[in-house]
């Protein structure tokens, strides 16, 4: 079971309190009625599914109820950091150091 840090409650809580919300930083097109089928597919269905660094949404459903984002390694399941919704995507260079790198990232560089 994962231990997840909620940036609003400012503490680590167990996974049972959270619901995963899929990939973070996916913007819904503002002209959704006008986009092509290809663009809709890209926005709605296609996901990176990275082996390595993933940015994902979590919701603290049995806590503060708020959405936030987190950066995690999908091989070790280790969280690098959590940050509030609306904050910009953190640069991997800022947290992939100080022995924080997973074996995978050392081998192949952070996932594209």
Partner 1 sequence: MRKYSVFAVVREAMRGHKGWEAQWASPEPRKEYDAIIIGGGGHGLGAAYYLAKEHGITNVAVLEKGWIGGGNTGRNTTIIRSNYLYEESMHIYEHSLKLWENLSQDLNYNVMYSPRGVMMLSHNVHDQQSFKRHINANRLYGIDNEWLTPEQAKAYCPPLDISKTARYPINGAALQRRGGTARHDAVAWGYARAASDRGVHIIQNCEVTAIRRGPDGRVVGVETSKGFIGAKKIGVSAAGHTSVVMQTADVRVPLQSQPLQALVSEPLKPIFPCVVMSNSVHAYISQSDKGEFVIGAGTDQYNSYSQTGGMQIITHTLDAICELFPMFRRVKMMRQWGGIVDVTVDRSPIQGITPVPGLFINAGWGTGGFKATPGSAHLFAHLIAKGEPHKFAAGLTLDRFRTGRLIDEAAAAAVAH
Minimum distance from residue 17 beta carbon to partner 1 (Å): 11
Closer Cβ to partner 1, 40 or 94, answer by number = 40
Closer Cβ to partner 1, 74 or 85, answer by number = 74
Give the Cα separation of 41 and 37 in Å (integer): 6
Binding site for partner 1 (CB under 8 A): 1-2, 15-16, 19-20, 22, 37-38, 40-42, 44-51, 54, 56, 72, 74-77, 112
Q: How far is CA 86 from CA 8, 52, 70, 78, in A?
A: 13, 23, 12, 22
Closer Cβ to partner 1, 6 or 54, answer by number = 54
Please return the burial class of 37, using the count of CB atoms within 10 Å of its CB with bins 0-12, 13-18 and 19+: exposed
């Amino acid at each position: 079971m994962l231990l997840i840090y909620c940036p609003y409650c400012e503490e680590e809580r167990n996974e049972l309190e959270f619901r995963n919300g899929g990939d973070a930083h996916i913007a819904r097109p503002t002209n959704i009625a006008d986009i092509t089928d290809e663009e809709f597919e890209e926005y709605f269905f296609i996901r990176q599914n990275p082996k390595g660094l993933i940015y994902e949404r979590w919701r603290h459903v049995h806590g503060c109820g708020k959405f936030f984002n987190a950066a995690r390694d999908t091989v070790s399941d280790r969280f690098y950091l959590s940050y509030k919704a609306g904050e910009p995507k953190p640069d991997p260079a800022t947290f992939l150091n100080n022995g924080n790198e997973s074996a995978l990232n050392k081998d192949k560089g952070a996932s594209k």
